[in-house]
Structure 1
Amino acid sequence: MKRIAVFASGNGSNFQAICDAAKEGRLDAEPVLVVCDKAGAFVLERAAAEGVDAFTFSAKDYPDKASYEQEILRRLNEYRVDFIILAGYMRLIGPTLIQPYAERIVNIHPSLLPAFPGKDAVGQSLQAGVKVTGLTIHYVDEGMDTGPILAQQAVPVLDGDTRDSLQERIQKKEHELYPEVLQQLFRKKQHTY
């Protein structure tokens, strides 16, 4: 059973999907910590409802990224976290976390990378007029959405799609695929860290 920390900045629907998969026995993982950089984020309510501890921080309270990542790393060690799972976390991860968690930080992104990296991938895909977008699950490296890809799934862009309607269909697929891919990954990486 892998001990995971979920990093999120917003609603936390992927956090919820991961918790549900773990409770239903589809994911051999125990969410032990939520890390959030937004004090009022709904993911914090979800964490409380699931009985998962949360660490909330504001980047502006620290002199630099390395400082707040040191604090996060201390918490990860305290909770004996095996994997970091990014689920709508809107900050780039720096070397302070990447080095000790090499190939143990996973992200989900709402596009078929390398297309539309960064913020507002759904809006970018609509603006570009593509007929197919989707989602990518990948390891995190020091670039923006550039780490090795673990899985992708296409989602068609329908005539009349809005940012909200397309986002909703992508998230529905995310909630199915993310726990499946994490389960495959955890089975491969049996040893403890």
Structure 2
Amino acid sequence: MKVAIFASGNGTNFEILAQKFESNEMAGNLTLLFCDHPDAPVVKRAENHQVPVRSFTVKECGGKLPYEKKIMELLKEFQIDFIVLAGYLRVIGPTILQNYEKKIVNLHPAYLPEYPGLHSIERALSDHRTQTGVTVHYVDDGLDSGPVIEQRRVPILATDNLETLEQRVHECEHRLYPQVVKEILLKINKKEQNDQ
């Protein structure tokens, strides 16, 4: 089973997932990193793990539809079976979704349905909430609205600022995401073996 990770930024979740694939803790092979920001730090991380990288922007492609068509060509070229979003800051459109239904997972830094979209940690903090969280969910055609697979709560302390809260949310992500992805890939692998 061939897995692609999509990411847009620093890539700390990519780093942890890549290590798990390298140590054979994950079923399948990490075959591709796709990044929509060619100069994002995650690109260097992928190169350090010898994971093939492809990167282009919506602007380069002349719009969202040609951009997604180009991604689909890439997924076919690398024969990708499953997609893991790790800090990929774009909404997945129908061109990809119809080919990968229930085969794309996302990690969101909030306890969905609370705070979908961008700046979730910041918004929870500025609303003076006592807790936020982390959600792993399947991707559908809405904004962070797909079926929830697993969630964890993260307390917001009275002493928290954005930096300290972000750090604790990321620590929770780094524990939860590899564990959930591992379980999903294992189930898919078992099912494929049983179907043969």
Name the TM-score class by shorter chain. over 0.9
Q: How far apart, CA to CA, are the structure 2 residues paired with 1:172 and 1:60?
A: 33
Is the Cα contact below 8 Å between 1:33 and 1:55 reproduced in 2?
yes
Give the match for residue 34 of structure 1: 33
The worse-fitting range, judged by mean Cα deviation, of 9-18 and 161-170 is 161-170
1:64: how far off? 2.1
Q: Which amino acid aligns with 2:31?
A: V
1:115 aligns to 2:143 (yes or no):
no
- CA deviation profile, 1:56-94 (whole Å, cap 9, x unmatched): 111112232121111111111111111111011110000
Task: Give the number of aligned pairs.
Answer: 191
Matched residue SS, 1:6: strand
Length-normalised TM-score, structure 2: 0.94
Give the match for residue 10 of structure 1: 9
Structure 2, unmatched stretches of 5+, are none
Structure 1, unmatched stretches of 5+, are none
- CA deviation profile, 1:4-46 (whole Å, cap 9, x unmatched): 1111000000111101112233222321111111121000000
Q: Which amino acid aligns with 2:108?
A: H
Is the Cα contact below 8 Å between 1:26 and 1:179 reproduced in 2?
no
Q: How far apart, CA to CA, are the structure 1 residues paired with 2:70 and 2:99?
A: 14
Residue correspondence of structure 1 range 1-193 to structure 2 within 5 A: 2-190=1-189, 191=192
Q: How far apart, CA to CA, are the structure 2 residues paired with 1:76 and 1:41?
A: 20
User: Structure 1 runs of 4+ off > 2 angstroms?
Assistant: 23-26
Length-normalised TM-score, structure 1: 0.95
1:128: how far off? 1.2
Is the Cα contact below 8 Å between 1:15 and 1:43 reproduced in 2?
yes
Q: 1:29 to 1:175 in 2, by over 3 A?
A: farther
Q: Which amino acid aligns with 1:31?
A: L
Q: Which amino acid aligns with 1:26?
A: E
